[in-house]
Amino acid sequence: MKKILFGIFLAMIFIAGGYSTMAKELDQPFEKGDINPYNKFFTGTTHLNMLVTKDDVFNSSIGNVTFEKGARTNWHKHSGGQILLVTAGEGRYQEKGKDIQILKKGDVVKIPPNVEHWHGASPDSEFAHISIEPNIPNNETTWLEAVSDEQYK
């Protein structure tokens, strides 16, 4: 009887431990926010938490973007450039005509004005970055075609 109870106890620990691992949120410094209102320009699901909104004082827009596994932006460009600060998970970044770069926590990506690019999570990891759009009000985002599965892989 003791062996059966011990077996049930171990099974409960294993199940509880597995559940807590599955339910764990991505460890990042900011809240992931609500479903991204720009998700029509993404493949997969992303969340957006605006940290600084556009104004005439700081001339920038800063948001925390969280990508579920495999989620990514469409190809796009920013007329005033963009800076990405990777805060969690593993991601991908690619400029048109160049190889995909693997992104890890602590990476900084400086994207010059009008460079076509995309960014998002790896196939097996959630991903979060701070997106900084400098040079406002003259920084406009132009959304382009979706990144195909072939381009992504």
Question: 24: pLDDT confidence band, cut at 50, 70 and 90?
Answer: low
Question: Do 131 and 72 contact (CB within 8 A), yes or no?
Answer: no
Per this entry, what is the length of the chain?
153
Does this model's pTM top 0.75? yes
The reported pLDDT for the residue numbered 11 is: 38
Per-residue pLDDT averaged across 111-121, rounded? Answer: 98
The reported pLDDT for the residue numbered 9 is: 36
Question: Do 54 and 141 contact (CB within 8 A), yes or no?
Answer: no
Question: Do 123 and 72 contact (CB within 8 A), yes or no?
Answer: no
More confident residue, 90 or 13: 90
Residue ranges and CATH numbers for the domains of the chain are 29-152 (2.60.120.10)
Question: 19: pLDDT confidence band, cut at 50, 70 and 90?
Answer: very low
